[in-house]
Chains A and B, each alone.
Chain A
Protein backbone atom coordinates (compact mmCIF):
# COMPACT_ATOMS: atom_id res chain seq x y z
CA UNK A 1 0.00 0.00 0.00
CA UNK A 2 2.84 2.29 0.92
CA UNK A 3 4.58 2.02 -2.40
CA UNK A 4 1.33 2.79 -4.23
CA UNK A 5 1.08 6.11 -2.43
CA UNK A 6 4.75 6.75 -3.07
CA UNK A 7 4.35 5.98 -6.77
CA UNK A 8 1.35 8.29 -7.01
CA UNK A 9 3.25 11.00 -5.20
CA UNK A 10 6.32 10.66 -7.42
CA UNK A 11 4.28 10.73 -10.62
CA UNK A 12 1.44 12.90 -9.42
CA UNK A 13 1.38 15.05 -12.55
CA UNK A 14 1.29 12.04 -14.81
CA UNK A 15 -1.62 10.55 -12.87
CA UNK A 16 -3.35 13.92 -13.02
CA UNK A 17 -3.04 13.80 -16.81
CA UNK A 18 -4.38 10.24 -16.86
CA UNK A 19 -7.32 10.91 -14.57
CA UNK A 20 -9.85 12.37 -17.04
CA UNK A 21 -9.28 9.48 -19.43
CA UNK A 22 -9.49 6.87 -16.69
CA UNK A 23 -12.81 8.32 -15.54
CA UNK A 24 -14.01 8.59 -19.12
CA UNK A 25 -13.32 4.93 -19.95
CA UNK A 26 -14.87 3.93 -16.63
CA UNK A 27 -18.11 5.80 -17.24
CA UNK A 28 -18.60 5.21 -20.94
CA UNK A 29 -16.99 1.79 -21.43
CA UNK A 30 -16.93 -0.09 -18.14
CA UNK A 31 -20.08 1.13 -16.40
CA UNK A 32 -22.39 0.02 -19.25
CA UNK A 33 -21.16 -3.54 -18.70
CA UNK A 34 -23.23 -3.61 -15.52
CA UNK A 35 -26.19 -3.12 -17.81
CA UNK A 36 -25.62 -6.51 -19.44
CA UNK A 37 -27.85 -7.62 -16.57
CA UNK A 38 -30.81 -6.09 -18.44
CA UNK A 39 -30.60 -9.01 -20.85
CA UNK A 40 -31.88 -11.24 -18.05
CA UNK A 41 -34.80 -9.21 -16.73
CA UNK A 42 -38.28 -8.26 -17.78
CA UNK A 43 -37.39 -4.58 -17.77
CA UNK A 44 -39.57 -2.28 -15.76
CA UNK A 45 -38.30 1.31 -15.66
CA UNK A 46 -40.02 1.95 -12.33
CA UNK A 47 -38.51 -1.03 -10.52
CA UNK A 48 -35.76 0.33 -8.34
CA UNK A 49 -32.82 2.46 -9.38
CA UNK A 50 -32.40 2.31 -13.19
CA UNK A 51 -34.79 -0.63 -13.34
CA UNK A 52 -32.37 -2.99 -11.61
CA UNK A 53 -35.17 -4.41 -9.48
CA UNK A 54 -37.04 -5.60 -12.58
CA UNK A 55 -38.22 -9.20 -12.42
CA UNK A 56 -35.34 -11.58 -13.13
CA UNK A 57 -36.29 -13.93 -15.98
CA UNK A 58 -32.97 -15.68 -16.58
CA UNK A 59 -32.48 -16.90 -20.12
CA UNK A 60 -36.06 -16.09 -21.13
CA UNK A 61 -35.20 -13.15 -23.42
CA UNK A 62 -32.44 -15.04 -25.18
CA UNK A 63 -34.58 -18.18 -25.50
CA UNK A 64 -37.41 -16.12 -26.91
CA UNK A 65 -35.05 -14.57 -29.47
CA UNK A 66 -33.56 -17.90 -30.50
CA UNK A 67 -36.94 -19.59 -30.88
CA UNK A 68 -38.21 -16.82 -33.16
CA UNK A 69 -37.39 -16.77 -36.86
CA UNK A 70 -35.85 -13.35 -36.41
CA UNK A 71 -32.53 -14.52 -35.11
CA UNK A 72 -31.55 -16.55 -38.17
CA UNK A 73 -32.85 -13.85 -40.41
CA UNK A 74 -31.00 -10.88 -38.90
CA UNK A 75 -27.81 -12.82 -38.18
CA UNK A 76 -27.77 -14.06 -41.76
CA UNK A 77 -28.33 -10.56 -43.14
CA UNK A 78 -25.60 -9.06 -40.97
CA UNK A 79 -23.01 -11.69 -41.87
CA UNK A 80 -24.05 -11.93 -45.52
CA UNK A 81 -23.94 -8.18 -46.14
CA UNK A 82 -20.63 -7.80 -44.31
CA UNK A 83 -19.15 -10.71 -46.26
CA UNK A 84 -20.25 -9.06 -49.51
CA UNK A 85 -18.75 -5.74 -48.42
CA UNK A 86 -15.45 -7.34 -47.40
CA UNK A 87 -14.94 -9.39 -50.57
CA UNK A 88 -16.03 -6.72 -53.04
CA UNK A 89 -14.24 -4.00 -51.08
CA UNK A 90 -10.88 -5.73 -50.97
CA UNK A 91 -11.06 -6.75 -54.63
CA UNK A 92 -11.92 -3.30 -55.95
CA UNK A 93 -9.49 -1.56 -53.61
CA UNK A 94 -6.64 -3.73 -54.81
CA UNK A 95 -7.59 -3.24 -58.46
CA UNK A 96 -7.79 0.54 -58.04
CA UNK A 97 -4.51 0.75 -56.14
CA UNK A 98 -2.68 -1.25 -58.81
CA UNK A 99 -4.35 0.88 -61.47
CA UNK A 100 -3.44 4.18 -59.83
CA UNK A 101 0.11 2.98 -59.40
CA UNK A 102 0.50 2.01 -63.05
CA UNK A 103 -0.81 5.22 -64.63
CA UNK A 104 1.97 6.97 -66.50
CA UNK A 105 0.50 10.44 -66.18
CA UNK A 106 1.17 11.39 -62.53
CA UNK A 107 -1.33 14.24 -62.68
CA UNK A 108 -4.15 11.89 -63.64
CA UNK A 109 -3.18 9.36 -61.04
CA UNK A 110 -3.25 12.00 -58.31
CA UNK A 111 -6.52 13.51 -59.52
CA UNK A 112 -8.19 10.13 -59.70
CA UNK A 113 -7.06 9.31 -56.20
CA UNK A 114 -8.40 12.60 -54.87
CA UNK A 115 -11.77 12.00 -56.52
CA UNK A 116 -11.99 8.45 -55.16
CA UNK A 117 -11.15 9.59 -51.66
CA UNK A 118 -13.79 12.32 -51.55
CA UNK A 119 -16.89 10.14 -50.81
CA UNK A 120 -15.20 8.90 -47.64
CA UNK A 121 -15.93 12.29 -46.09
CA UNK A 122 -19.60 12.30 -46.97
CA UNK A 123 -21.95 10.96 -44.33
CA UNK A 124 -24.48 8.21 -45.00
CA UNK A 125 -27.35 10.67 -44.59
CA UNK A 126 -26.07 12.69 -47.53
CA UNK A 127 -25.36 9.49 -49.45
CA UNK A 128 -29.02 8.64 -48.88
CA UNK A 129 -30.00 11.97 -50.44
CA UNK A 130 -27.75 11.24 -53.43
CA UNK A 131 -29.13 7.73 -53.69
CA UNK A 132 -32.66 9.09 -53.94
CA UNK A 133 -31.59 11.19 -56.93
CA UNK A 134 -30.46 8.06 -58.69
CA UNK A 135 -32.92 5.41 -57.56
CA UNK A 136 -36.13 7.43 -57.02
CA UNK A 137 -39.28 6.25 -58.73
CA UNK A 138 -40.29 9.75 -59.84
CA UNK A 139 -37.55 11.32 -61.88
CA UNK A 140 -34.66 9.22 -60.57
CA UNK A 141 -31.86 8.95 -63.11
CA UNK A 142 -31.94 5.15 -63.38
CA UNK A 143 -35.67 5.09 -63.94
CA UNK A 144 -35.34 7.82 -66.56
CA UNK A 145 -32.87 5.58 -68.33
CA UNK A 146 -35.13 2.55 -68.03
CA UNK A 147 -38.06 4.56 -69.41
CA UNK A 148 -35.93 5.90 -72.24
CA UNK A 149 -35.13 2.32 -73.20
CA UNK A 150 -38.83 1.55 -73.21
CA UNK A 151 -38.72 -0.41 -69.96
CA UNK A 152 -41.08 -0.07 -67.05
CA UNK A 153 -40.34 2.06 -64.01
CA UNK A 154 -38.69 -0.02 -61.32
CA UNK A 155 -39.48 0.76 -57.71
CA UNK A 156 -36.16 0.33 -55.94
CA UNK A 157 -37.56 1.36 -52.58
CA UNK A 158 -40.13 -1.44 -52.60
CA UNK A 159 -38.04 -4.35 -53.81
CA UNK A 160 -35.85 -5.93 -51.12
CA UNK A 161 -34.09 -8.24 -53.59
CA UNK A 162 -32.04 -5.50 -55.24
CA UNK A 163 -30.81 -3.98 -51.97
CA UNK A 164 -27.82 -6.19 -51.23
CA UNK A 165 -26.47 -5.16 -54.64
CA UNK A 166 -27.33 -1.48 -54.10
CA UNK A 167 -25.71 -1.50 -50.66
CA UNK A 168 -22.58 -3.12 -52.07
CA UNK A 169 -22.47 -0.49 -54.77
CA UNK A 170 -22.94 2.43 -52.35
CA UNK A 171 -20.44 0.94 -49.97
CA UNK A 172 -17.84 0.68 -52.73
CA UNK A 173 -18.60 4.22 -53.78
CA UNK A 174 -17.97 5.52 -50.28
CA UNK A 175 -15.22 3.20 -49.08
CA UNK A 176 -12.90 2.24 -51.92
CA UNK A 177 -10.85 5.45 -51.91
CA UNK A 178 -10.07 4.96 -48.24
CA UNK A 179 -9.16 1.33 -48.77
CA UNK A 180 -6.79 2.00 -51.66
CA UNK A 181 -4.55 4.09 -49.40
CA UNK A 182 -3.25 1.08 -47.49
CA UNK A 183 -2.65 -0.84 -50.73
CA UNK A 184 -0.88 2.12 -52.30
CA UNK A 185 1.36 2.37 -49.25
CA UNK A 186 2.16 -1.33 -49.52
CA UNK A 187 2.93 -1.04 -53.23
CA UNK A 188 5.16 1.96 -52.55
CA UNK A 189 7.06 -0.20 -50.08
CA UNK A 190 7.90 -2.88 -52.64
CA UNK A 191 11.58 -2.94 -53.52
CA UNK A 192 11.96 -1.40 -56.98
CA UNK A 193 14.92 -3.68 -57.71
CA UNK A 194 12.56 -6.62 -58.00
CA UNK A 195 10.85 -4.89 -60.92
CA UNK A 196 14.17 -3.89 -62.47
CA UNK A 197 15.42 -7.46 -62.28
CA UNK A 198 12.17 -8.73 -63.82
CA UNK A 199 12.47 -6.21 -66.64
CA UNK A 200 16.03 -7.30 -67.43
CA UNK A 201 14.78 -10.86 -67.58
CA UNK A 202 12.29 -9.70 -70.20
CA UNK A 203 9.11 -9.57 -68.13
CA UNK A 204 6.29 -7.45 -69.52
CA UNK A 205 4.40 -4.93 -67.35
CA UNK A 206 1.47 -7.33 -67.20
CA UNK A 207 3.70 -10.10 -65.95
CA UNK A 208 5.29 -7.84 -63.35
CA UNK A 209 1.88 -6.94 -62.00
CA UNK A 210 0.56 -10.48 -61.93
CA UNK A 211 3.76 -12.15 -60.72
CA UNK A 212 5.23 -9.49 -58.44
CA UNK A 213 2.71 -6.87 -57.28
CA UNK A 214 -0.29 -9.13 -56.71
CA UNK A 215 1.61 -11.82 -54.76
CA UNK A 216 3.33 -9.16 -52.65
CA UNK A 217 -0.04 -7.63 -51.80
CA UNK A 218 -1.31 -10.94 -50.52
CA UNK A 219 -0.12 -10.60 -46.92
CA UNK A 220 -1.84 -7.19 -46.67
CA UNK A 221 -5.01 -8.61 -48.17
CA UNK A 222 -5.04 -11.59 -45.83
CA UNK A 223 -4.48 -9.31 -42.87
CA UNK A 224 -7.22 -6.87 -43.84
CA UNK A 225 -9.51 -9.81 -44.56
CA UNK A 226 -8.99 -11.44 -41.18
CA UNK A 227 -9.34 -8.17 -39.31
CA UNK A 228 -12.64 -7.48 -41.07
CA UNK A 229 -13.85 -11.01 -40.32
CA UNK A 230 -13.33 -10.03 -36.67
CA UNK A 231 -16.12 -7.49 -37.11
CA UNK A 232 -18.43 -9.58 -39.24
CA UNK A 233 -21.32 -9.69 -36.74
CA UNK A 234 -21.23 -5.93 -36.23
CA UNK A 235 -23.45 -4.28 -38.79
CA UNK A 236 -23.17 -0.72 -40.02
CA UNK A 237 -26.23 0.84 -38.41
CA UNK A 238 -25.50 4.29 -39.78
CA UNK A 239 -25.46 3.02 -43.34
CA UNK A 240 -28.59 0.87 -43.16
CA UNK A 241 -30.64 3.31 -41.13
CA UNK A 242 -29.76 6.31 -43.26
CA UNK A 243 -30.43 4.50 -46.55
CA UNK A 244 -33.33 2.26 -45.65
CA UNK A 245 -34.78 3.93 -42.57
CA UNK A 246 -37.86 2.31 -41.13
CA UNK A 247 -39.04 1.02 -44.48
CA UNK A 248 -40.53 -2.39 -43.55
CA UNK A 249 -40.70 -3.50 -47.20
CA UNK A 250 -36.93 -3.70 -47.40
CA UNK A 251 -36.42 -5.53 -44.11
CA UNK A 252 -36.21 -9.04 -45.56
CA UNK A 253 -32.72 -8.32 -46.93
CA UNK A 254 -31.56 -5.26 -45.00
CA UNK A 255 -32.61 -5.83 -41.40
CA UNK A 256 -29.40 -6.46 -39.45
CA UNK A 257 -28.70 -7.13 -35.78
CA UNK A 258 -28.00 -3.47 -35.12
CA UNK A 259 -31.22 -2.16 -36.65
CA UNK A 260 -33.15 -4.90 -34.87
CA UNK A 261 -31.64 -3.92 -31.50
CA UNK A 262 -32.43 -0.27 -32.18
CA UNK A 263 -36.03 -1.07 -33.10
CA UNK A 264 -36.52 -3.29 -30.07
CA UNK A 265 -35.35 -0.42 -27.86
CA UNK A 266 -36.86 2.66 -29.48
CA UNK A 267 -39.86 1.44 -31.44
CA UNK A 268 -41.16 -1.67 -29.68
CA UNK A 269 -39.87 -0.67 -26.23
CA UNK A 270 -38.82 -4.26 -25.61
CA UNK A 271 -35.77 -3.41 -23.58
CA UNK A 272 -34.95 -6.87 -22.21
CA UNK A 273 -35.04 -8.29 -25.72
CA UNK A 274 -32.92 -5.49 -27.12
CA UNK A 275 -30.31 -6.04 -24.41
CA UNK A 276 -30.35 -9.80 -24.96
CA UNK A 277 -29.73 -9.49 -28.71
CA UNK A 278 -26.91 -7.02 -28.05
CA UNK A 279 -25.39 -9.46 -25.60
CA UNK A 280 -25.52 -12.23 -28.19
CA UNK A 281 -23.82 -9.93 -30.69
CA UNK A 282 -21.16 -8.82 -28.21
CA UNK A 283 -20.27 -12.37 -27.20
CA UNK A 284 -19.99 -13.61 -30.79
CA UNK A 285 -18.14 -10.42 -31.76
CA UNK A 286 -15.70 -10.85 -28.89
CA UNK A 287 -14.92 -14.42 -29.93
CA UNK A 288 -14.52 -13.34 -33.57
CA UNK A 289 -12.10 -10.52 -32.72
CA UNK A 290 -10.03 -12.72 -30.42
CA UNK A 291 -9.74 -15.50 -32.99
CA UNK A 292 -9.00 -13.06 -35.79
CA UNK A 293 -6.29 -11.46 -33.72
CA UNK A 294 -4.88 -14.86 -32.80
CA UNK A 295 -4.71 -15.82 -36.46
CA UNK A 296 -3.03 -12.57 -37.43
CA UNK A 297 -0.53 -12.96 -34.62
CA UNK A 298 0.44 -16.36 -35.99
CA UNK A 299 1.14 -14.94 -39.42
CA UNK A 300 2.65 -11.59 -38.65
CA UNK A 301 3.21 -10.44 -35.09
CA UNK A 302 3.41 -6.77 -36.02
CA UNK A 303 0.00 -6.61 -37.63
CA UNK A 304 -1.86 -8.00 -34.62
CA UNK A 305 -4.09 -5.58 -32.76
CA UNK A 306 -2.81 -6.68 -29.35
Chain B
Protein backbone atom coordinates (compact mmCIF):
# COMPACT_ATOMS: atom_id res chain seq x y z
CA UNK B 1 0.00 0.00 0.00
CA UNK B 2 0.90 3.63 -0.10
CA UNK B 3 3.57 4.84 2.25
CA UNK B 4 2.49 7.20 4.96
CA UNK B 5 4.68 9.82 6.56
CA UNK B 6 4.87 10.26 10.31
CA UNK B 7 2.25 13.01 10.42
CA UNK B 8 -0.20 10.97 8.41
CA UNK B 9 0.33 7.97 10.63
CA UNK B 10 -0.35 10.03 13.73
CA UNK B 11 -3.47 11.46 12.15
CA UNK B 12 -4.69 8.03 11.13
CA UNK B 13 -4.03 6.74 14.64
CA UNK B 14 -5.94 9.68 16.05
CA UNK B 15 -8.91 9.03 13.74
CA UNK B 16 -8.93 5.32 14.60
CA UNK B 17 -8.93 6.23 18.27
CA UNK B 18 -11.71 8.83 17.90
CA UNK B 19 -14.10 6.70 15.88
CA UNK B 20 -13.27 3.51 17.76
CA UNK B 21 -13.68 5.01 21.22
CA UNK B 22 -16.83 6.83 20.27
CA UNK B 23 -18.44 3.72 18.84
CA UNK B 24 -17.52 1.76 21.96
CA UNK B 25 -19.02 4.56 23.99
CA UNK B 26 -22.22 4.16 21.98
CA UNK B 27 -22.42 0.53 23.03
CA UNK B 28 -21.29 1.06 26.61
CA UNK B 29 -24.59 2.10 28.29
CA UNK B 30 -26.40 -0.77 26.59
CA UNK B 31 -23.88 -3.17 28.00
CA UNK B 32 -24.09 -1.71 31.52
CA UNK B 33 -27.88 -1.92 31.43
CA UNK B 34 -27.80 -5.46 30.07
CA UNK B 35 -25.46 -6.51 32.88
CA UNK B 36 -27.67 -4.82 35.47
CA UNK B 37 -30.73 -6.60 34.11
CA UNK B 38 -29.07 -9.93 34.94
CA UNK B 39 -27.85 -8.91 38.37
CA UNK B 40 -29.63 -9.84 41.57
CA UNK B 41 -30.86 -7.22 43.97
CA UNK B 42 -28.34 -8.06 46.72
CA UNK B 43 -25.28 -7.51 44.56
CA UNK B 44 -26.80 -4.37 43.03
CA UNK B 45 -27.30 -2.88 46.48
CA UNK B 46 -23.82 -3.91 47.56
CA UNK B 47 -21.75 -3.14 44.48
CA UNK B 48 -23.84 -0.87 42.30
CA UNK B 49 -23.67 -1.06 38.52
CA UNK B 50 -20.82 -3.04 37.05
CA UNK B 51 -19.28 -4.12 33.81
CA UNK B 52 -19.70 -7.80 34.54
CA UNK B 53 -22.60 -9.52 36.31
CA UNK B 54 -21.64 -10.79 39.75
CA UNK B 55 -24.09 -13.61 39.19
CA UNK B 56 -26.23 -14.60 36.26
CA UNK B 57 -29.73 -14.03 37.50
CA UNK B 58 -32.91 -14.18 35.47
CA UNK B 59 -35.32 -13.04 38.18
CA UNK B 60 -35.99 -9.66 36.61
CA UNK B 61 -36.92 -11.17 33.25
CA UNK B 62 -39.06 -13.82 34.95
CA UNK B 63 -40.92 -11.08 36.77
CA UNK B 64 -41.37 -9.01 33.63
CA UNK B 65 -42.76 -11.93 31.66
CA UNK B 66 -44.75 -13.80 34.28
CA UNK B 67 -44.98 -11.74 37.46
CA UNK B 68 -46.90 -8.79 36.07
CA UNK B 69 -49.24 -8.19 33.18
CA UNK B 70 -48.24 -4.52 32.84
CA UNK B 71 -45.20 -5.08 30.65
CA UNK B 72 -46.83 -7.56 28.31
CA UNK B 73 -49.91 -5.36 28.06
CA UNK B 74 -47.75 -2.35 27.17
CA UNK B 75 -45.89 -4.49 24.67
CA UNK B 76 -49.14 -5.46 23.03
CA UNK B 77 -50.34 -1.85 22.86
CA UNK B 78 -47.01 -0.80 21.39
CA UNK B 79 -47.10 -3.52 18.74
CA UNK B 80 -50.71 -2.76 17.80
CA UNK B 81 -50.22 1.02 17.59
CA UNK B 82 -46.96 0.57 15.67
CA UNK B 83 -48.49 -1.80 13.12
CA UNK B 84 -51.72 0.14 12.68
CA UNK B 85 -49.98 3.52 12.70
CA UNK B 86 -47.36 2.50 10.15
CA UNK B 87 -49.97 1.06 7.83
CA UNK B 88 -52.13 4.18 8.14
CA UNK B 89 -49.11 6.41 7.54
CA UNK B 90 -48.23 4.58 4.35
CA UNK B 91 -51.78 4.62 3.02
CA UNK B 92 -52.57 8.28 3.74
CA UNK B 93 -49.12 9.54 2.76
CA UNK B 94 -48.89 7.72 -0.55
CA UNK B 95 -52.51 8.53 -1.45
CA UNK B 96 -51.84 12.21 -0.80
CA UNK B 97 -48.43 12.30 -2.49
CA UNK B 98 -49.28 10.56 -5.74
CA UNK B 99 -51.87 13.02 -7.16
CA UNK B 100 -49.41 15.86 -6.54
CA UNK B 101 -47.24 14.40 -9.30
CA UNK B 102 -50.00 14.04 -11.90
CA UNK B 103 -49.63 16.88 -14.37
CA UNK B 104 -53.29 16.97 -15.39
CA UNK B 105 -54.36 17.83 -11.83
CA UNK B 106 -54.95 21.57 -11.96
CA UNK B 107 -54.93 22.30 -8.20
CA UNK B 108 -51.63 20.48 -7.69
CA UNK B 109 -49.61 23.58 -6.70
CA UNK B 110 -52.25 24.92 -4.33
CA UNK B 111 -52.62 21.57 -2.60
CA UNK B 112 -48.84 21.21 -2.28
CA UNK B 113 -48.73 24.64 -0.67
CA UNK B 114 -51.60 23.67 1.65
CA UNK B 115 -49.48 20.74 2.88
CA UNK B 116 -46.21 22.67 2.90
CA UNK B 117 -47.58 25.48 5.01
CA UNK B 118 -48.14 23.05 7.89
CA UNK B 119 -44.36 22.80 8.28
CA UNK B 120 -44.16 26.49 9.10
CA UNK B 121 -46.59 26.98 11.94
CA UNK B 122 -48.50 25.11 14.56
CA UNK B 123 -51.19 26.05 17.00
CA UNK B 124 -49.14 24.90 19.96
CA UNK B 125 -49.92 22.60 22.83
CA UNK B 126 -53.11 24.15 24.22
CA UNK B 127 -55.21 24.19 21.03
CA UNK B 128 -54.04 20.68 20.17
CA UNK B 129 -54.88 19.51 23.66
CA UNK B 130 -58.37 21.01 23.60
CA UNK B 131 -58.99 19.76 20.07
CA UNK B 132 -58.02 16.22 21.01
CA UNK B 133 -59.81 16.03 24.34
CA UNK B 134 -62.92 18.14 23.80
CA UNK B 135 -63.66 18.12 20.08
CA UNK B 136 -62.42 14.69 19.04
CA UNK B 137 -62.85 13.07 22.47
CA UNK B 138 -59.81 10.89 22.00
CA UNK B 139 -58.73 10.91 25.62
CA UNK B 140 -57.99 7.39 26.87
CA UNK B 141 -58.49 6.06 23.38
CA UNK B 142 -55.88 4.05 21.54
CA UNK B 143 -56.66 6.00 18.37
CA UNK B 144 -54.93 9.08 19.78
CA UNK B 145 -51.69 7.11 19.59
CA UNK B 146 -52.34 6.13 15.98
CA UNK B 147 -54.11 8.85 14.02
CA UNK B 148 -52.56 12.27 14.80
CA UNK B 149 -49.04 11.12 13.86
CA UNK B 150 -50.07 9.44 10.61
CA UNK B 151 -49.48 12.28 8.17
CA UNK B 152 -46.84 14.95 7.98
CA UNK B 153 -45.76 17.21 5.16
CA UNK B 154 -42.16 16.02 5.27
CA UNK B 155 -43.10 12.43 4.41
CA UNK B 156 -45.50 13.68 1.74
CA UNK B 157 -42.68 15.48 -0.01
CA UNK B 158 -40.25 12.60 0.30
CA UNK B 159 -42.82 10.38 -1.33
CA UNK B 160 -43.91 12.94 -3.92
CA UNK B 161 -40.29 13.36 -5.00
CA UNK B 162 -40.00 9.61 -5.41
CA UNK B 163 -43.20 9.31 -7.46
CA UNK B 164 -41.98 12.17 -9.63
CA UNK B 165 -38.96 10.08 -10.68
CA UNK B 166 -41.19 7.33 -12.12
CA UNK B 167 -41.66 7.76 -15.89
CA UNK B 168 -44.86 9.54 -16.99
CA UNK B 169 -45.21 7.12 -19.89
CA UNK B 170 -46.28 4.36 -17.47
CA UNK B 171 -49.39 6.21 -16.38
CA UNK B 172 -50.10 7.53 -19.87
CA UNK B 173 -50.07 4.16 -21.57
CA UNK B 174 -52.23 2.67 -18.81
CA UNK B 175 -54.65 5.55 -19.31
CA UNK B 176 -54.87 4.85 -23.01
CA UNK B 177 -55.67 1.26 -22.13
CA UNK B 178 -58.59 2.56 -20.11
CA UNK B 179 -57.22 2.37 -16.55
CA UNK B 180 -58.44 5.01 -14.09
CA UNK B 181 -56.19 6.95 -11.72
CA UNK B 182 -57.04 4.80 -8.73
CA UNK B 183 -55.99 1.68 -10.60
CA UNK B 184 -52.79 3.30 -11.86
CA UNK B 185 -51.89 4.40 -8.34
CA UNK B 186 -52.63 1.08 -6.71
CA UNK B 187 -51.52 -1.39 -9.37
CA UNK B 188 -48.68 0.44 -11.11
CA UNK B 189 -47.19 3.19 -8.96
CA UNK B 190 -47.30 1.59 -5.50
CA UNK B 191 -45.58 -1.66 -6.55
CA UNK B 192 -42.79 0.43 -8.09
CA UNK B 193 -42.37 2.42 -4.89
CA UNK B 194 -41.27 -0.27 -2.48
CA UNK B 195 -37.98 1.43 -1.53
CA UNK B 196 -39.60 4.68 -0.46
CA UNK B 197 -42.48 2.85 1.22
CA UNK B 198 -39.93 0.84 3.19
CA UNK B 199 -38.03 3.96 4.19
CA UNK B 200 -41.05 5.98 5.27
CA UNK B 201 -42.62 2.93 6.86
CA UNK B 202 -39.54 2.40 9.00
CA UNK B 203 -39.33 6.06 10.00
CA UNK B 204 -42.99 5.88 10.99
CA UNK B 205 -42.65 2.56 12.80
CA UNK B 206 -39.73 3.95 14.79
CA UNK B 207 -41.80 6.95 15.81
CA UNK B 208 -44.74 4.82 16.88
CA UNK B 209 -42.55 2.34 18.72
CA UNK B 210 -40.92 5.08 20.75
CA UNK B 211 -44.11 7.04 21.43
CA UNK B 212 -44.80 8.20 24.97
CA UNK B 213 -45.52 11.93 24.73
CA UNK B 214 -49.12 11.37 23.64
CA UNK B 215 -49.62 8.90 26.47
CA UNK B 216 -48.35 11.52 28.90
CA UNK B 217 -50.85 14.02 27.53
CA UNK B 218 -53.91 11.97 26.75
CA UNK B 219 -53.90 8.58 28.48
CA UNK B 220 -54.60 7.85 32.14
CA UNK B 221 -55.80 4.30 31.66
CA UNK B 222 -52.92 2.02 32.61
CA UNK B 223 -54.03 -0.65 30.15
CA UNK B 224 -53.26 1.74 27.27
CA UNK B 225 -49.72 2.62 28.30
CA UNK B 226 -47.07 2.15 25.64
CA UNK B 227 -43.83 0.43 26.49
CA UNK B 228 -41.83 3.66 26.46
CA UNK B 229 -44.27 5.40 28.77
CA UNK B 230 -44.24 2.43 31.11
CA UNK B 231 -40.45 2.67 31.21
CA UNK B 232 -40.72 6.33 32.08
CA UNK B 233 -43.14 5.61 34.89
CA UNK B 234 -40.86 2.90 36.26
CA UNK B 235 -37.92 5.29 36.03
CA UNK B 236 -39.58 8.19 37.85
CA UNK B 237 -41.51 6.06 40.30
CA UNK B 238 -39.33 3.20 41.40
CA UNK B 239 -42.12 1.10 42.89
CA UNK B 240 -44.50 1.59 39.96
CA UNK B 241 -44.28 -1.97 38.68
CA UNK B 242 -43.96 -3.49 42.11
CA UNK B 243 -47.48 -2.52 43.08
CA UNK B 244 -48.76 -4.60 40.18
CA UNK B 245 -46.78 -7.67 41.12
CA UNK B 246 -49.21 -10.31 42.27
CA UNK B 247 -49.09 -13.81 43.69
CA UNK B 248 -47.46 -15.18 40.57
CA UNK B 249 -44.63 -12.73 41.09
CA UNK B 250 -43.92 -14.07 44.55
CA UNK B 251 -43.75 -17.52 43.03
CA UNK B 252 -41.31 -16.33 40.35
CA UNK B 253 -39.19 -14.61 42.98
CA UNK B 254 -38.95 -17.75 45.09
CA UNK B 255 -38.13 -15.89 48.28
CA UNK B 256 -35.68 -13.39 46.78
CA UNK B 257 -36.18 -9.67 47.20
CA UNK B 258 -37.65 -7.71 44.29
CA UNK B 259 -34.88 -6.53 41.96
CA UNK B 260 -36.04 -2.93 41.47
CA UNK B 261 -33.09 -1.87 39.33
CA UNK B 262 -33.13 -5.18 37.48
CA UNK B 263 -36.81 -4.76 36.64
CA UNK B 264 -36.21 -1.33 35.19
CA UNK B 265 -33.24 -2.49 33.15
CA UNK B 266 -34.97 -5.67 31.96
CA UNK B 267 -37.98 -3.66 30.76
CA UNK B 268 -35.70 -1.24 28.91
CA UNK B 269 -33.83 -4.16 27.35
CA UNK B 270 -37.05 -5.80 26.22
CA UNK B 271 -38.21 -2.57 24.63
CA UNK B 272 -35.08 -2.25 22.51
CA UNK B 273 -34.88 -5.99 21.78
CA UNK B 274 -36.77 -5.86 18.47
CA UNK B 275 -34.73 -2.85 17.39
CA UNK B 276 -31.49 -4.76 17.92
CA UNK B 277 -32.87 -7.81 16.11
CA UNK B 278 -34.01 -5.80 13.10
CA UNK B 279 -31.00 -3.51 13.22
CA UNK B 280 -29.21 -4.49 9.97
CA UNK B 281 -32.47 -4.03 8.09
CA UNK B 282 -33.32 -0.78 9.90
CA UNK B 283 -29.88 0.65 9.28
CA UNK B 284 -29.96 -0.06 5.58
CA UNK B 285 -33.27 1.66 4.95
CA UNK B 286 -32.64 4.52 7.35
CA UNK B 287 -29.36 5.35 5.67
CA UNK B 288 -31.20 5.41 2.38
CA UNK B 289 -33.94 7.57 3.83
CA UNK B 290 -31.59 10.16 5.30
CA UNK B 291 -29.71 10.56 2.05
CA UNK B 292 -32.93 10.87 0.06
CA UNK B 293 -34.06 13.54 2.50
CA UNK B 294 -30.72 15.32 2.37
CA UNK B 295 -30.54 15.37 -1.39
CA UNK B 296 -33.90 17.03 -1.72
CA UNK B 297 -36.30 17.67 1.16
Contacts and interface: CB of A to CB of B under 8 A. Distances in A.
Interface residues of A, number: 102
Given A133-B49, A141-B49, 20 more contacts: A18-B95, A18-B99, A25-B115, A30-B118, A34-B123, A35-B123, A36-B124, A112-B23, A115-B24, A118-B26, A119-B26, A121-B206, A121-B275, A121-B282, A129-B231, A129-B265, A136-B49, A204-B8, A241-B216, A242-B212
B269 to A, nearest CB: 9
A261 B30 contact: no
Interface in A123-168: 123, 125-134, 136, 138-141, 143-144
A38 B282 CA distance: 42
Contact of B48 (A123, A138, A177, A209): A138
Contacts of B120: 286, 289-290
22 contacts: A28-B128, A31-B123, A34-B127, A99-B18, A103-B16, A108-B20, A116-B19, A121-B272, A123-B228, A125-B210, A126-B231, A129-B33, A133-B265, A140-B49, A141-B48, A176-B22, A182-B291, A185-B294, A205-B12, A238-B212, A241-B213, A278-B125
A123 B210 contact: yes
B272 A122 contact: yes
Contact of A17 (B118, B128, B181, B294): B181
Main secondary structure of the interface of B (DSSP, over half): helix
Main secondary structure of the interface of A (DSSP, over half): helix
Most buried by A among B19, B33, B128, B228: B19
Interface stretch (B61-69, B129-137, B239-247): B129-137
Contacts of B25: 173
B243 to A, nearest CB: 19
A34 B153 CA distance: 20
B180 interface: yes
Interface residues of B, number: 100
B48 A178 contact: no
Contact of B121 (A117, A238, A282): A282
Interface of B: 1, 4-5, 7-8, 11-12, 15-16, 18-20, 22-27, 29-30, 32-33, 36, 44-45, 47-49, 92-93, 95-96, 98-99, 102, 104-107, 111, 114-116, 118-131, 134-136, 148, 150-151, 153, 156, 180-182, 185, 206, 209-210, 212-213, 216-217, 228-229, 231-232, 235-236, 261, 264-265, 268, 271-272, 275-276, 279, 282-283, 286-287, 290-291, 294, 296-297
Across the A-B interface, the 10 shortest Cβ-Cβ residue pairs: A139-B48, A35-B127, A32-B123, A278-B124, A21-B96, A123-B210, A115-B23, A130-B29, A32-B127, A13-B181
